[in-house]
């Protein structure tokens, strides 16, 4: 009964003339049971432009590793089909993307339906007179074409769908900062050109069974520029209000239990790291929204909800875009003055909680004779209110004071770092030889390599601190000023302890690998020579052997005690190559 009503509602939104037109999707024709292949996106992109040549432009913004075009539709009634025209007219730009995880494909079909209605002024009338929409129906194009009925066993529909990752097995929603994937590099180039005020990322969540049908998460709300959070809160609140009126049951947090598979453990809100869309765009002083429909709702339901969220976003930007643009510009201006102030790099959800009523289903938890663990089983015929804890106090965790002027990257690493800075449109300049400068250096007291590969990288975590010291700066080094609108993104890339810094993704691993050693018999001689020349050192060594049993039993550590004090020791070992400076170099 519910599915029939939803199909009728969606069909009512579609004029009968479209049933056989070039603008109807496979999804619409199938009663929202199926989704089309990527050739449909290519066809529809051209068909929309042909039907509305003054309002729609179909473009390619990249090519995938398997050679497929990455399509986007530029949609507006203003005639501003270039970034320059949009900027000249002070038009807010909204970028809506579907299919970053191509099995979660609601956004493609919902987007084409919403787009048609917007162009006909049947929803959000006048919205396209006040903004530019960039619609990317499928971000992960190659993954979309890895098409089978088995890709999402925990999702109800469509009949067949694409794959989560790209042809190179990158998860694009872990790639915003490191930007390894050609697809992400193309997306960042599109973002750099158009500078969207809001970036809308359309997904389908995994998880338990419950009545709530979508989560709407926005940043900045907890993170980013404190004043700009007001715009994020307004966007989130207004969209939640809009879709609630249309019958949805949204939440503002990701509906994943604190303890896996245990509804009684409740939920925790938080801030995503910059590898994710909502963690990334707040670093650019722009809005990002994550729309996560619930995988156990059927495909017609999920398409309807995603459609409603898209329409609401565009309606809200039409109403408030000028105000939010000014708020973003003000945040850009404040970023120019961030030097010398504490900047949070990570955020934590505290243990403080309050009880919320959550619309779930009756469930049992019993030991499994298959896995041997406690398993939860839901009865979807019996709605049940769960009164569970929600932890939603989110505070800065690791904060670092921004440098007085910026960062210096030595020539040996300049080419690699410059390429990454360019991907994010971060300003930098090449500097000449400056001799020795008073800078801050970071030497790791402890460097821990991840035991395995993640997204093709061996990640690295370091402990240590910045310390002032003079260091030689040769020609060809880069200076990256912190006084720029993307100051927070600069710090996210170059602060060694930031969760998605270049260091964290392994770009500087060589600097934390010891390359030179003494043979043991040489080290023995060196040790005896040092103790003979320095009785205090000999006494220090003796006390360590007597008081530290771990050290005493470790032959390598005992010899290294002396090697570190020898002139052959590599003073660059565990030294982070990037430096901070409080004075801009020439």
Eight-state DSSP code of residue 575:
B
pLDDT value at residue 518: 84
Backbone angles phi, psi at 575, to 5 degrees: -95, 120
Token pair listed for 477: 């080094």
pLDDT average, residue stretch 452-473: 97
Rounded-to-integer distance, Cα 127 and Cα 115, Å: 11
pLDDT band of residue 9 (cuts 50, 70, 90) is low
Predicted confidence at residue 14, as pLDDT, reads: 44
Least confident span in 157-166, 346-355, 563-572: 563-572
* pLDDT tens digits, one per residue of 288-303: 999 999 999 999 999 9
Mean pLDDT over 229-238 rounds to: 98
**Per-residue pLDDT tens over the stretch 310-331:** 999 999 999 999 999 999 999 9
* Phi, psi angles (nearest 5°) of residue 358: -120, 135
pLDDT in tens, 74-83: 999 999 999 9
Is residue 162 within 8 A of residue 102, CB to CB? The reply is yes
- Residues 6+ away with beta carbon under 8 Å from 3: 298, 300, 301
Q: Is the pLDDT of residue 560 over 90?
A: no
Instruction: Return d(Cα 459, Cα 585) in angstroms, integer.
Output: 31
Contact call for residues 418 and 464 (beta carbons, < 8 A): no
Question: How much is the pLDDT for 10?
Answer: 52
Is residue 2 within 8 A of residue 156, CB to CB? The reply is no
**CB distance 28 to 16 below 8 Å:** no
Kindly tell me if the per-residue pLDDT of 4 is higher than 70: no
Q: How confident is the model at residue 263 (pLDDT cuts 50, 70, 90)?
A: very high
pLDDT bin (cut points 50, 70, 90) of residue 435 is confident
Residues 6+ apart with CB under 8 A from 554: none
The three-class DSSP label of residue 354 is: strand
Q: Is 32 left (phi over 0), alpha (psi -120 to 50) or beta?
A: left
Place of tokens 């809009």: 242
Q: Which of 461, 462, 479 is nearest to 583 (CA)?
A: 479
Q: Is the pLDDT of residue 41 over 50?
A: yes
Q: How far apart are CA 260 and CA 254, in angstroms?
A: 13
Q: How many helices (H) and strands (E) does the chain have?
A: 16, 21
Which single residue is written with the structure tokens 């619409």? 28
Least confident piece of the model among 267-281, 327-341, 423-437? 423-437
Choose among 214, 221, 340, 351: nearest CA to 279.
221
Nearest to 72 by CA among 205, 199, 236: 199
The total number of residues written for the chain in this structure: 586
Distance from C-alpha of 163 to C-alpha of 169, rounded to nearest angstrom: 10
User: What mean pLDDT is predicted for residues 26-41?
Assistant: 97
* Residues in a beta bridge with 357: 387
Contact 53, 119 (CB under 8 A): no
H or E segment and range at residue 133 = strand 132-136
Q: 2: pLDDT confidence band, cut at 50, 70 and 90?
A: very low
pLDDT at 432: 87
What is the C-alpha separation between 482 and 584, in angstroms, rounded? 10
Residue 429 to residues 6, 414, 473, 492, Cα–Cα distance (Å): 56, 10, 14, 19
Question: Which residues of the chain form CATH 3.40.630.10?
Answer: 2-335
Cα torsion 203, 207, 212, 217 to 10°: value is -40
- Average pLDDT across the chain, whole number: 95
Q: Which tokens hold the place of 521?
A: 């018999």
Are 135 and 111 within 8 A, CB to CB? yes
State the pLDDT confidence band at 16, using cuts at 50, 70 and 90.
very low
Alpha-carbon 241 to chain mean position: 25
Percentage of the chain beyond pLDDT 90 is: 92
pTM above 0.75, yes or no: yes
* Residue 18 pLDDT exceeds 80: no
Element (H, E) at 382: strand 374-391
Q: CA-to-CA distance for 91 and 87, rounded, in angstroms?
A: 6
Fold of 2-335: Aminopeptidase (3.40.630)
Q: How far apart are CA 180 and CA 81, in angstroms?
A: 29
Do 250 and 243 contact (CB within 8 A), yes or no?
Answer: yes
| pLDDT given at position 8 | 42
Q: How confident is the model at residue 496 (pLDDT cuts 50, 70, 90)?
A: very high
pLDDT at 369 over 80: yes
Number of Cβ within 10 Å of residue 416's Cβ equals 13
| pLDDT at residue number 338 | 98
Cα–Cα distance, 146 to 202 (Å, whole number): 19
């Amino acid at each position: 009964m519910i599915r029939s009503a939803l199909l009728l509602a969606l069909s009512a939104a579609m004029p009968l003339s479209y049933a056989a037109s070039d603008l109807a999707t496979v999804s619409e024709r199938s009663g929202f049971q199926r989704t089309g292949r990527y050739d449909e996106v290519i066809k529809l992109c051209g068909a929309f432009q042909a039907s509305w040549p003054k309002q729609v432009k179909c473009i390619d913004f990249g090519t995938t590793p398997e050679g497929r075009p990455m399509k986007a539709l530029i949609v507006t009634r203003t005639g501003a089909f270039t970034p320059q025209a949009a900027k000249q007219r002070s038009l807010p730009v909204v970028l809506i993307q579907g299919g970053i995880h191509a099995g979660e494909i609601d956004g493609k079909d919902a987007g084409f339906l919403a787009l048609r209605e917007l162009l006909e002024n049947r929803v959000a009338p006048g919205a396209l007179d006040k903004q530019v929409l960039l619609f990317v129906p499928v971000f992960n194009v190659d993954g979309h074409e890895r098409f089978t009925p088995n890709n999402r066993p925990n999702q109800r529909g469509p009949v067949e769908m694409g794959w989560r990752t790209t042809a190179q097995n990158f998860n694009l929603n872990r790639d915003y900062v490191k930007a390894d994937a050609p697809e992400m590099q193309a997306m960042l180039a599109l973002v750099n050109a158009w500078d969207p005020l809001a970036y809308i990322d359309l997904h389908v969540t995994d998880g338990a069974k419950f009545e709530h049908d979508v989560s709407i998460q926005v940043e900045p709300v907890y993170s980013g520029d404190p004043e700009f959070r007001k715009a994020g809160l307004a966007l989130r609140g207004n969209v939640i209000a809009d879709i609630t009126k249309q019958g949805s049951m949204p939440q503002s947090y990701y509906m994943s239990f604190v303890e896996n598979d245990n509804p009684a453990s409740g939920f925790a809100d938080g801030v995503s790291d910059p590898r994710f869309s909502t963690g990334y765009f707040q670093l650019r002083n722009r809005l990002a929204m994550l729309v996560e429909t619930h995988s156990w709702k059927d495909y017609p339901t999920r398409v309807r909800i995603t459609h409603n969220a898209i329409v609401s976003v565009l309606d809200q930007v039409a109403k408030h875009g000028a105000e939010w643009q000014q708020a973003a510009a003000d945040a850009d201006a404040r970023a120019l003055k961030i030097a010398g102030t504490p900047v949070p790099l990570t955020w934590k959800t505290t243990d403080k909680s309050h009880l919320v009523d959550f619309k779930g289903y009756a469930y049992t938890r019993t030991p499994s004779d298959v896995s041997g663990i406690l398993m939860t089983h839901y009865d979807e015929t019996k709605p049940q209110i769960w009164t569970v804890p929600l932890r939603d106090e989110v505070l800065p965790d690791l904060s670092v004071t921004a440098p007085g002027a910026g960062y210096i990257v030595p020539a040996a690493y300049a080419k690699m770092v410059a390429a990454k800075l360019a991907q994010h449109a971060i300003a930098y300049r090449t500097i000449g030889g400056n001799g020795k400068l008073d800078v801050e250096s970071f030497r790791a007291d402890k460097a821990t390599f991840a035991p395995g590969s993640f997204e093709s990288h061996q990640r690295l975590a370091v402990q240590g601190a910045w310390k002032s010291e003079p260091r030689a700066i040769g020609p060809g080094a880069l200076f990256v000023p912190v006084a720029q609108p993307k100051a927070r993104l600069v710090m996210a890339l170059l602060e060694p302890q930031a969760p998605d810094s270049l260091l964290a993704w392994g770009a500087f691993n060589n600097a934390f690998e010891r390359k030179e050693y003494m043979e043991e018999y040489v080290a023995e001689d060196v040790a005896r020579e040092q103790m003979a020349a320095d009785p205090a050192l000999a006494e220090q060594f003796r006390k360590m052997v007597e008081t530290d049993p771990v050290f005493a039993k470790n032959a390598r550590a005992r010899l290294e005690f002396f090697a570190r004090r020898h002139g052959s020791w590599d003073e660059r070992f565990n030294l982070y190559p990037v430096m901070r400076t409080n004075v801009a170099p020439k």
